[in-house]
Amino acid sequence: MVPLWMYLAVAAALFCLGTYTVLSRKNAVAVLMGVELMLNAVNLNLVAFWRFQDPLNMAGQAFTAFVLVVAAAEAAVGLAIIIAMYRSRRSVAVDDVDMLRW
């Protein structure tokens, strides 16, 4: 069987790619895609630890299911906010939405 650290390494790389997308992309939709990648890396970690540490305790899979639910809610609300933002500002660049900056 493929060892645990390989799954963790894949999840770490996926998380870092998602983080870079969130930090560096200009487009708000791309930022949300980065958040999805990060949540997927977390899910992969949860399932890998569940499989290798305690495969009879359902906590790992149950938490993964909840992360999925939260990700779906986050995507729906986030994209609705982006569409509302596009209506009022005619832009989806994160730099253009700085009305709350002090």
Mark residues 54-83: x for contact with another protein by CB under 8 A, - for none.
-xxxxx-xx-xxx-xxxxxxxxxx-xxxxx
Within positions 5 to 34, which residues make up the interface with another protein, using CB under 8 A?
5-10, 12-21, 23-27, 29-30, 32-34
> Is the CB of residue 47 less than 8 Å from the CB of residue 60?
yes
Q: Binding-site residue total for another protein (CB under 8 A)?
A: 75
Alpha-carbon span 14 to 62, nearest angstrom: 22
Cβ nearer to another protein, comparing 38 with 102: 38
Spell out the residues 6+ positions from residue 96 whose beta carbon is closer than 8 angstroms to its own.
Answer: 89
What is the largest distance, in Å, between two alpha-carbon atoms of the chain?
A: 54
Cβ nearer to another protein, comparing 23 with 99: 23
